[in-house]
Amino acid sequence: MNRRVVVTGLGMVTPLGTGVRKNWEAACSGKSGIRTITKFDPSPFPCRIAGEARDFNSHDWLDKQQVRRLDIFIHFAMASARMAMQESGLKIDDSNRHRVGCLTGSGLGGLALLENYHKILLEKGPDRVSPFFIPGMIANMAPGQIAIEFGAKGPNMSIETACAASSHAVGESFRLIREGRADAMITGGSEAVVTPLAVAGFCSMRALSTRNDEPEKASRPFDLNRDGFVMGEGAGILILEEMDHAIQRGAGILAEVVGYGLSGDAYHMTAPEPEGGGAILCMSEAIRDSGLKPEEIDYINAHGTSTKLNDESEVRAIKSVFGEHARKLAVSSTKSMTGHLLGGAGGIEAIFAVLTIKEGTIPPTINYETPDPECDLDFVPNAARKAAVRTAMSNSFGFGGTNASLVFREFQEKR
């Protein structure tokens, strides 16, 4: 059917703060949310830093039973969904509840709850494991709880494609609406795995930055002296709607979703294909899907993890897809400020892409101090930039070689 799809609401929890405006102001100020880990004693670990959602209080958003029974990644998702629904003004009732769905992504689900109950099992025995353990940690409980909260009975599922999960969730929601299977979707992603087991796992892979004495400077995408990524936590939720549906109810439209691409590297468990073959296919497909030409893309919110292989591979892919236009593109990585939210990253970064269009400001890549000859694009270094951005792409690439790209456009009712 190829119906047009627009964004009408946003909600965020990140290491930069709780709420969209707080995040946007922090990002445009070039602030870092990376600090020494407080959730557990990090002293035995090579990496002792992360982006924690320090100002988030679950009790501000959920009742006591929900706080106790559900993993915090679900808390993040539900709080962000409430913010997004409030901004959107979307009302769900018997007239439309079967046409509104929920689709979110998460890379690891409720790992904190799993670790907690594993400890209880070992120390106190199986009888002390709560009957709410399993439903409190499974990844699809995020969209499940959001649907219960708002009474949305349309398509409901979760996507677990590592660090591309919430970009895939937004993309698949876009397709469901475009193809007429839903009129609105609550979508995005959430992650909360700043836990001992997760940090130990990534440390053993030597994937994390060990710049422990300068946490705020540890996440430095595309900089020559980057030494690994920094974990973050939080959620990003968007409300997508069919255009006429949004216009008829008088919704404020923030941007239009126009393209979605996805691909697989078929190369390695964790490393990207060095020449960026999967990313090239993914970005090319998103541009083709949008009906735009490569030279019409103004800005890319890059995957930009701050690891040597990922950053170099993404730069090569951008050069291949955009040719000479790659030198004119603004490319920045907001992970330099939020850290890497893994399965939640795509939702957060889609929101930053939408806000870049709406606000006419490009958030920077902070900590960009020493150019890497292999990464030689315009990374909007260290300071936000005022610019008229009509189109923005958001990239997400995950373990297993799974890739997703989204294209957003300034909304114009007639085009």
Digit-coded pLDDT (tens) for 325-375: 999 999 999 999 999 999 999 999 999 999 999 999 999 999 999 999 999
Name 91's Cβ contacts closer than 8 Å, sequence gap at least 6: none
3-state secondary structure of 72: helix
What structural domains and CATH numbers belong to the chain? 5-248 (3.40.47.10), 261-405 (3.40.47.10)
Alpha-carbon distance 234 to 22, whole Å? 14
State residue 414's pLDDT score.
Answer: 86
Active-site annotation holds for 163: yes
**Which structure tokens are listed for 351?**
């929101």
Three-state SS sequence of 363-378: CCECCCCCEECCECCE
Strand bridging mode 391-398 / 299-301: parallel
Residue 415 has pLDDT above 90, yes or no: no
Residue 1 has pLDDT above 80, yes or no: no
Residue in 245, 282, 303, 375 annotated catalytic: 303
- The mean of the pLDDT values for the chain is 97
Residue in 28, 102, 340, 375 annotated catalytic: 340
| 201-248: pLDDT as tens digits | 999 999 999 999 999 999 999 999 999 999 999 999 999 999 999 999
Contact 348, 317 (CB under 8 A): no
Residue in 102, 163, 282, 375 annotated catalytic: 163
DSSP string, 177-227: HHTTS-SEEEEEEEE---SHHHHHHHHHTT-B---TT-GGGT--TTBTT--
- Taking the CA atoms of residue 4, residue 8, residue 11 and residue 16 in that order, the dihedral angle to the nearest 10 degrees is 90
Report the pLDDT averaged over residues 177-192. Answer: 98
**Which structure tokens are listed for 341?**
């939210």
Report the pLDDT averaged over residues 40-54. Answer: 98
**Which structure tokens are listed for 134?**
């399993």
pTM of the model: 0.97
State residue 151's pLDDT score.
Answer: 98
| 2-42: pLDDT as tens digits | 899 999 999 999 999 999 999 999 999 999 999 999 999 99
